[in-house]
Every structure is written in structure tokens, then in C-alpha cells.
Structure 1
Amino acid sequence: MDYKNLIVEIDDNILYVTINRPSKLNALNKDTIAELHEAFADAKEDEETKVIILTGSGEKAFVAGADISEFSDFSPEEGKQLAADGQAKLFDYVANFPKPVIAAINGFALGGGLELAMSAHFRIASDNAKMGLPEVSLGVIPGYGGTQRLPQLVGKGRAMEMIMTAGMIDANQALRYNLVNHVTAQDELIEFAESMAAKILKNSSVAISAAIRAINANYEAGVNGFETEIEEFGRCFGTEDFEEGTSAFLNKRKANFPGK
């Protein structure tokens, strides 16, 4: 598919999804959200895609926020629908994606940009990255999962402070807050993300999908994550990957997982 606002490329089972609106600091608008959904939906069905690296074009921004001009005159009902649609199409979709999603944060990740990065399964930041949720400075709150995912990652008190002050933190502070897993030099960001993807690719994609579901279950209201873990653990025993993994271990050889 041809995209207006994305660059989508695949190499060695890694799908690179790059948000490409440099003149707008890669800000999210309706079209970009729709294209991201389409790219992820295609990746879900593509057997060649095993890991996704999500980043922004240029050196200034991952995603500098949402395109405010699109919703500055919305009514309360339209605002509610905007958040619901965005979460369903993109943010929750990425968070529950069955294949690993690594956010490579280059530069600014603000508002919807940080919310998108937090939807990924984990985050790597360049040393020039700046992160924050400045929505209250516009008279609104984060609407794409920010009030939920930020406390999960950094704790309630720090999330309250970040959201109430509308301030930014740098990459090293984000690392101390556990908002990102690693910080690298900007020119090494994608290479580092690729090294993490390479480690993931050595393992069972079926088991990784099961682990994503089990981990996410812990954060779903009314769901017992331990029960989900038990179910997913048992289901793994019926897979070809389990048969291959245990056989390789017992025979002291490297596993060659079929992904089934």
C-alpha cells in the first residue's frame, strides 16, 4: 500500500514503520492515525513480519503531538468520539498487538506522540529525546490512554506531576522513571533497536504473542492475569514451537522455530 504520511519497509523479518510528516514534527492527524492502523493491520497478517520498529522521520521528533487544528472546535461529544476512535484504531491496537512493537524515540515525543510510544511494548530513546503530556496547558487531558499508561510505567505520583505541570523530561530522566528501557546516541538509535529485535527473533513468536497477552491481562479491569497466564502457558504445550524448543534444548542444538 502507498502511504502519504508513513514510510513502511521490511528487512529480515523487521518491519520499520516511520511516521513521515517532518514539516509538522510528525504530528498525528486523522489520516496518519488511519494509515498507522492500516500498516499494523497488514503487519498482523504478514507472516514475514516478526518485529516492528516504530519511529519518526528526521532528527527532531518521534511525534510532537496531535494536530490540534483538527479538533480545536469540537463539541464534548465529538471530543469523546475522537478519543474512543483513536484508542480503538491505534493506541489500544498497538498495545495489544500480537507481535513485538519497539518504539524508537528520536527527539520530541509529546502528547499523542508519547501516548503512541507508551502503547508500544517497550521504548528506546535517543539522548536528545524530550517527553511529556502537555495537554492540560491546552485545557484538555490526555485522551489516547496517557492517564492510564503513564502511571503504569512511572507510578502515580510522577504521572500526576508530569500531567499537572505539562512539563517535559529528558531521556535520562525518562530512563530513571522507567518510561524508557534504554537510552542511546541518536545515530545509534535504530541500530540499537535492531539489536533488540535480533534477540527477540531468536525466540518463539508463538510464545511471545502468548506472553504479550498474559502481561497485558494484568492491566485489564476485571481480568485475573494469573488465570490468563495459566491458560496461555497450557496452550503453548500444543504448539509446534514448544515441540521444537524442547527438542532443541534436550538435544543441545539451536532451535529453529516454525512460528506455529
Structure 2
Amino acid sequence: MEQHELEDLNYRTANGVAWVTLNRPDTHNALSTRMRADLQTIWREVRRDDSVRCVVLTGSGDKAFCSGIDRSELNDEPGRFDPYSYDDLGAQIGPKSNGLWKPVIAAVNGMACGGAAYLLGESEFIIAAEHATFFDPHVTYGMPAVYEPILLIGRMSFGDLTRMSLLGASERMSATTAKGSGLVSEVVPADALPDAARWAAETIAAQPALPVQTTVRSLWAARRLGYQDALDMGNVLLAAGNDPDAFAAGQSDFRGRVRQEPRLR
């Protein structure tokens, strides 16, 4: 196991899985300038580390996964916004925005709001504790919700996303409602969240790395490109992800030499 503690972020690896923990519980794990820089560094390091095959992203404590950008560090003086020179803060913190095509599982251990969508929107899937909640407070505090709903538009029903974006801080979506909407893939008791995330991540990490990463790339191509463009890219991705050794081992498993009892969800 490798473990590294940064000031606003914890990082450790075990069994092919990198555990990335937002570590500012006193601010509900708000994304500080330092944390955003550390996330960008971590994503780029994980991208090059062949020993890491899957990532679990979570928050410290049991109150919050992430409360978005730390606004205490931002200049909120009106009239200064220039859309032609503005750098989206999310470009720093999103795994896909930083070229990471290894699977990222978000383990949501409490409140997730606002800029947390930068992380949730670029994760492969989300597992939530029963007490987790989701909301976007932008409009309540005089700001438009823009990047957040864009990032979540393909992950949940349009009606629920619109409701969450327009009701602001006045309503929070429960983990159960989020699962029904498609945002969350599984809801578990709070004390079972680490094990649920570990099982999924280690199962993925135990599979051949190249086919897994190519599958991730294909899924995101299908989401971001038009249907025909994604199909046209399919042959290139299929060639890039073709690992003869992994294929031979997989066919051997398929013929019955190795059978894993599947879990029912």
C-alpha cells in the first residue's frame, strides 16, 4: 500500500485501487485553491501509474462529500466577469478534463452540492450512503447554475435536474430519489459505503487494464459525440484496446475453467 497525505487531500493505494479523499471536513470538503491544484496533480499522476487501475473518490467525515468551490477564496465583486478570458475552475478538478480514462467511482458520504458536480459528472458511477443529499444552491445565492447541470445532463432525468437547479438551496434530493433519477447507482448504509466502493473498485481493478480503459473511453465518446461519430470511432478504440493475452485468458474463463459467482444488485 502506498499512502500520501497532502494538506487538503489524502491519497493511498491498495490492491490496484487509488483512494482519493477530499480532506477539509471543517468546510464540508469545499474545493480550496490548494485542493484543486492537488486534484489536478493526482489525476495526472494516476494516469501514468500502471499499478492503479481504478479510483475511489470520497470525502472525509460523514457530513459531506463536497460542498463545491470554496467561495471564501473567490472575488465576488460584481461586474468583473469576462466570458472571453474566464478559465472554468472545473477544468482543474475533473478526472476526464485531465485525461484520466481509468474508472473513477464516487463514494458520496454526505452532502454533495454545487461544484461537487464537477467531480460527480466526471465519475463513472456513484455509490451513495443512505444519508447523502444532492442540491445546487446557485440560484438561491444570485448565481446561474450553468456548468453543474451541463455536467449532470446525461446522468439523471431532465425533470429532476431542472428541479434541483431551479429550487436551489430550498430542497435537497435524497440518495433514494437520486438513485431513482439515475444519478446514483447504489445506496447503502453509511457504515457499508467504504466496503461497497472497495468491492466495486477492486473487482474492476482485477480485470485487464487495457480493455477496461478502452471501455471507459468508448462510453465517454458515446456520451460526448454524436451517435454516428461514436460508431465511426469504434474500430479505432477496438484496435487500441485489443490485448491478445487478456483476450486469450478471458476466452479460457468463458469456456468454464474459471467461474466467478456474480453479485445481484
- TM-score for both structures, normalised by structure 1: 0.87
Using the TM superposition, name which of 109-118 and 168-177 deviates more: 109-118
Distance 1:205 1:54 in 2: 19
Deviation at 1:239, TM superposition (A): 4.4
1:87 and 1:122 mapped to 2: Cα distance? 18
CA deviation string 1:179-206 (max 9, x = no partner): 1000000011011001111221232211
> Is the aligned partner of 1:149 residue 2:131?
no
Query: C-alpha distance in 1, partners of 2:208/2:126?
Result: 21
Residue 252 (structure 1) aligned to one of 257, 260, 263: 257
The correspondence for 1:162, drawn from 161, 164, 171, is: 164
Of 86, 104, 124, the match for 1:101: 104
Alignment length (residue pairs): 252
Q: Secondary structure at the match of 2:19?
A: strand
Distance 2:240 2:46 in 1: 23
Q: Counterpart in 2 of 1:227?
A: 232
Q: How does 1:117-128 map to 2 (within 5 A)?
A: 117-128=120-131
Equivalence for 1:77: 82
Whether 1:198 and 2:196 are equivalent positions in the alignment is no
Q: Which residue of 1 aligns with 2:177?
A: 173
SS of 2:121's equivalent? helix
Shift in Å, 1:39: 1.2
Deviations 1:5-29 (A, max 9, x none): 0111111111111000011110012
Structure 1 spans left out of the alignment, 5+ residues = 256-260
In terms of mean alpha carbon deviation, does 55-64 or 95-104 score higher?
A: 95-104
Equivalent pair of 2:9/2:22 in contact (CA under 8 Å): yes
1:241 is matched with 246
- Does the C-alpha gap of structure 1 residues 181 and 238 become closer, same or farther in structure 2, counting only changes over 3 Å? closer
> For the residues of structure 2 that align with 1:188 and 1:251, how far apart are their CA atoms?
32
Give SS of 1:109's match: strand
Q: Residue 128 of structure 2 aligns to a residue in which SS?
A: strand
Superposition misfits of 4+ residues, deviation over 6 angstroms: none
Report deviation, 1:233. Answer: 1.9
Paired AA for residue 125 in structure 2: F
Q: How far apart, in 2, do the equivalents of 1:127 and 1:35 lie?
A: 29
Contact 2:43 2:95 in 1 (8 A): no
Cα pair distance change 1:227/1:62, threshold 3 Å: same
SS at match of 1:15: strand
Question: Mean alpha-carbon deviation: is it higher for 73-82 or for 219-228?
Answer: 73-82
Aligned AA for 1:232? Answer: L
CA contact (8 A) 2:65 2:110 kept: yes
Deviations 1:59-100 (A, max 9, x none): 1000022211222237212896242xx232222636852211
Q: How does 1:10-49 map to 2 (within 5 A)?
A: 10-49=13-52
Unaligned 5+ runs, structure 2:
261-265
- In the alignment, the residues of structure 2 paired with residue 236 and residue 151 of structure 1 have an alpha-carbon distance, to the nearest angstrom, of 28
1:59 and 2:37 correspond: no
Q: Report the aligned-residue RMSD.
A: 2.4
Give SS of 2:50's match. coil
Contact 1:28-1:63 within 8 A present in 2 as well: yes
The alignment's TM-score, normalised by the length of structure 2, stands at 0.86
SS in structure 2 at match of 1:134: coil
User: Alignment partner of 1:231: what SS?
Assistant: helix
Equivalent residue runs for 1:81-92 within 5 Å: 81-83=86-88, 86-91=89-94
**Percent identity between the two aligned chains:** 25
